[in-house]
Amino acid sequence: MDSLAELFYEEMRDVLSAERQLIKALPKMAKKAHSEELRAAFEKHLAETEAQADRVEQAFEETGKAVRAKTCEAMKGLIAEAESMMKEKSAPEVMDAALIACAQKVEHYEIATYGTLCTWAEALGYSNALQLLKQNIDEEEQTDKALTQLSKTINREANV
C-alpha cells in the first residue's frame, strides 16, 4: 500500500467482513443466552449491526472503489472463541457471563477499528464516511456500556 487512502480502503473491506460475520454469529449467541435481558440485547445489537454494515457499504462511496469485503481474521477468531465457549457445559448464569465477555471483546475490537477509520476518514477529507462511521462507533460504545450494565447482575448470579 502506498497511501492512507489505500489503507483506509483495505480496512473498510476488513470491517465490512467483521460486521457480516457478526450478523451470522449474534443469533447463535442470542439463542444460547439464558437471561431474557441478554437475549434482547443481542437481538437489538443484531438490528444495529445490520444497519452498521449498510453504513459501511455507503462509506465506501468516497473511496471511488467497489464495495468488497475481505475476510476479517480478527473477527473470525473472536467468533471462533465465542463458539467454543458456547459448546462448554456451564450453568446458565455462568454461560451468560461468558457470552457477555465474548461480546465485549467483539465490541472493543470494533470500537478500536471504527476509531481508526474515523481518524483516517477525517485526514482524507471523507466527510460522509466520517459521519457514517461515527454513527457506528457510537452504537458500539452504547452496546458495550449496556453489556457492562447487564454483567453486574449476571456476574452476581453466576457467583452464587
Q: What are the CB-based long-range contacts (under 8 Å, 24+) for 64-71?
A: 65/9, 67/16, 68/13, 68/16, 69/13, 69/14, 69/16, 69/17, 69/20, 70/10, 70/13, 70/14, 70/17, 71/17
SS (H, E, C) 17-32: HHHHHHHHHHHHHHHH
| Model confidence pLDDT, tens digit, residues 55-92 | 999 999 999 999 999 999 999 999 999 999 999 999 99
User: pLDDT class for 160, splitting at 50, 70, 90?
Assistant: confident
Tell me what pLDDT residue 147 has: 97
Full-model pTM: 0.94
Q: Residue 64 phi/psi, 5° resolution?
A: 75, 10
| Model confidence pLDDT, tens digit, residues 85-128 | 999 999 999 999 999 999 999 999 999 999 999 999 999 999 99
| Model confidence pLDDT, tens digit, residues 20-56 | 999 999 999 999 999 999 999 999 999 999 999 999 9
Tell me what pLDDT residue 1 has: 83
Name the one residue in this structure whose C-alpha cell is 457492562: 148
Q: What percent of the chain has pLDDT over 90?
A: 96
**Domains and their CATH numbers in the chain:** 4-158 (1.20.1260.10)
User: pLDDT class for 159, splitting at 50, 70, 90?
Assistant: confident
